[in-house]
């Protein structure tokens, strides 16, 4: 397996990351995951074109990959030592890639980075390795009419539903018999969605994916009383008949078509909701407070500098140029996400203070919890996904969580705790 990957990498990128031509212009290679996202790619291309036009010392050259194969391509490129100078990386993977030596720290950008939402800054060992234009927020999209019909309190950012209130609300909505799904948490999604969307509930109960003091063990946090409580709660959503065990093919559409009363969704769904015929009946509510305040996932795609770049000062120069407020605004607007700086937010319609999307930014600022900052994260994420799926399918919570802790601890230890 490793061999075929390495072979692909060699075949695919024979050019070095930075080359200088006769005129003294150094070409910097740049990789991005959004080949399938025309709008975002166009916005990024605009940033690059502006940069290339602003000076003649460096020329950035974009290569776009489909998201599905992006991580594999980077891994393969790293194996054959042909990483690009500039690349984007999914937030939770930053520590893994920084530890593996794929990324170089963003030296000299601390002041600029301090203006970004903390959740979009990729850190490892107290150094900044990546920074992103945008974040996304998780919300409860609810039908106002459904809540009002059952006399359910509309929660606010300062006073979200408590666990009991949420349970009562679900019971009341289900009792009306009007909805096919009382709640839809999009359990049909796969991959990173599971840790991104469901570990915040675990954290709200007081548990976590791993002990964040030293990132050595998950014992006590992923299999403690709080975690078991989370598991039972999560399972009860299905076993009590509020939430489908496996969501339909398009939960967003089910919600807009009136099948679902409450949809747990990312802020990326807002645009479709606002454009739908029931736009006036949709509320974007904060997530549930299960004990330790509402929590939502933080961190999305971020930009970083490859460690093998022969012209790192050029790559950093581009990063400084690219992370201006106006580009934060243009990229997040194109991707329908939350601008990561105050200056950027002011430039995007809807995200200005008091704008219709401003609430997402406030949720992010107030509730966002980044996923564990350890190179072991990909392992933790995969293990958590399987654990949560098993729990939803009726596995014994304590035994399943204990097994997950055992696996995670073994992996951290086998890597010498990533010291």
Partner 1 sequence: MTQTLGAAHPTPPTVGQIEKLSFKQRRYTKAKQSQRLAAAWMVTPAVALLLVFVIIPIVLTFALAFTNAKLISPTGPQFVGIDNFSRLFGDPVFWKSLRNTLIFTIFVVPLQAGLALVLALLINVRIRGVNFFRTVYFLPVVTSMVVISLLWKFMYQPNGLINGFLAVFGIDGPDWLGNPNTALVAVLIMSIWQAVGFHMVIWLSGLQTIPQDMYEAGAIDGASNWQRFRYLTWPALRQTRTFILITITIQAFALFTQIQVMTQGGPLDSTSTIVYQAVRTGFSLQQTGYASALSLVFFVLVLVVSLAQRYLTRDKDVKK
Q: Which residues bind partner 1 (CB under 8 A)?
A: 1-4, 7, 72, 75, 78, 96-97, 99-102, 190, 245-246, 248-249, 378-379, 382-383, 386, 389-390, 393-395, 403, 410-411, 414-415
**Closest distance between partner 1 and the C-beta of residue 374, in Å?**
13
The nearer residue to partner 1, 110 or 396, going by C-beta atoms, is 396
**CA–CA gap between residue 150 and residue 147 (Å, rounded):** 5
Q: How far is CA 333 from the centre of its chain?
A: 17
The nearer residue to partner 1, 216 or 366, going by C-beta atoms, is 216
**Closest distance between partner 1 and the C-beta of residue 244, in Å?**
8
> Are 161 and 303 within 8 A, CB to CB?
no
**Closest distance between partner 1 and the C-beta of residue 338, in Å?**
28
Residue 191: which of 402, 386, 392 has the closest Cα? 386
The nearer residue to partner 1, 1 or 275, going by C-beta atoms, is 1
**CA–CA gap between residue 231 and residue 237 (Å, rounded):** 10
The nearer residue to partner 1, 133 or 194, going by C-beta atoms, is 194
**Closest distance between partner 1 and the C-beta of residue 141, in Å?**
23
**Closest distance between partner 1 and the C-beta of residue 366, in Å?**
32
Task: Quickly tell me which residue has 């909701």 as its tokens.
Answer: 273
The nearer residue to partner 1, 55 or 393, going by C-beta atoms, is 393
Cα dihedral across residues 385, 375, 267, 157: positive or negative:
positive
**Closest distance between partner 1 and the C-beta of residue 6, in Å?**
11
Residue 90: which of 106, 67, 73, 66 has the closest Cα? 67
The nearer residue to partner 1, 114 or 414, going by C-beta atoms, is 414
**Closest distance between partner 1 and the C-beta of residue 82, in Å?**
16
**Closest distance between partner 1 and the C-beta of residue 393, in Å?**
4
The nearer residue to partner 1, 137 or 381, going by C-beta atoms, is 381
Phi, psi of 228 (to 5 degrees): -65, -40
The nearer residue to partner 1, 203 or 238, going by C-beta atoms, is 238
């Amino acid at each position: 397996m490793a061999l075929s990957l390495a072979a692909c990498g060699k075949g695919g990128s024979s050019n070095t990351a930075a080359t200088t031509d006769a005129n003294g212009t150094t070409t910097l290679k740049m990789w991005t995951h959004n080949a399938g996202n025309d709008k975002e790619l166009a916005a990024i291309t605009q940033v690059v074109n502006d940069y290339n036009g602003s000076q003649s010392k460096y020329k950035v050259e974009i290569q776009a990959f489909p998201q599905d194969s992006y991580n594999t391509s980077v891994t393969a490129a790293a194996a054959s030592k042909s990483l690009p100078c500039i690349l984007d990386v999914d937030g939770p993977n930053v520590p893994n890639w920084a530890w593996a030596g794929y990324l170089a720290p963003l030296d000299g950008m601390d002041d600029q980075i301090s203006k970004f939402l903390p959740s979009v800054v990729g850190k490892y060992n107290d150094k900044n390795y990546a920074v992103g234009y945008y974040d996304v927020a998780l919300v409860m999209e609810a039908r106002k009419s459904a809540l009002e019909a059952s006399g359910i309190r509309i929660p606010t950012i300062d006073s979200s539903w408590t666990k009991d209130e949420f349970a009562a609300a679900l019971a009341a909505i289900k009792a009306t018999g009007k909805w096919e799904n009382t709640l839809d948490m999009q359990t049909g999604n796969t991959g990173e969605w599971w840790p991104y969307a469901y570990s915040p509930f675990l954290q709200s109960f007081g548990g976590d994916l791993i002990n964040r003091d030293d990132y050595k063990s998950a014992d006590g946090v992923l299999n403690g009383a709080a975690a078991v409580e989370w598991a039972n709660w999560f399972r009860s959503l299905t076993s009590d008949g509020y939430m489908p065990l496996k969501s339909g093919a398009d939960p967003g559409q089910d919600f807009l078509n009136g099948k679902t009363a409450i949809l747990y969704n990312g802020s990326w769904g807002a645009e479709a909701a606002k454009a739908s015929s029931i736009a006036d009946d949709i509320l974007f509510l904060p997530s549930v407070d299960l004990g330790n305040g509402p929590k939502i996932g933080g961190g999305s795609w971020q930009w970083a500098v490859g460690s093998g770049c022969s012209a790192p000062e050029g790559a950093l120069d581009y990063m400084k140029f690219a992370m201006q407020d106006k580009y934060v605004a243009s990229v997040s607007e194109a991707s329908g996400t939350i601008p990561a700086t105050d200056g950027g937010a002011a430039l995007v319609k809807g995200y200005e203070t008091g704008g219709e999307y401003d609430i997402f930014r406030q949720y992010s600022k107030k509730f966002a919890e980044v996923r564990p900052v350890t190179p072991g994260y990909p392992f933790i994420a995969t293990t958590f996904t399987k654990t949560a799926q098993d729990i939803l399918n009726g596995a014994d919570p304590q035994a399943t969580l204990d097994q997950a802790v055992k696996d995670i601890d073994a992996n951290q230890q086998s890597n010498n705790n990533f010291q």
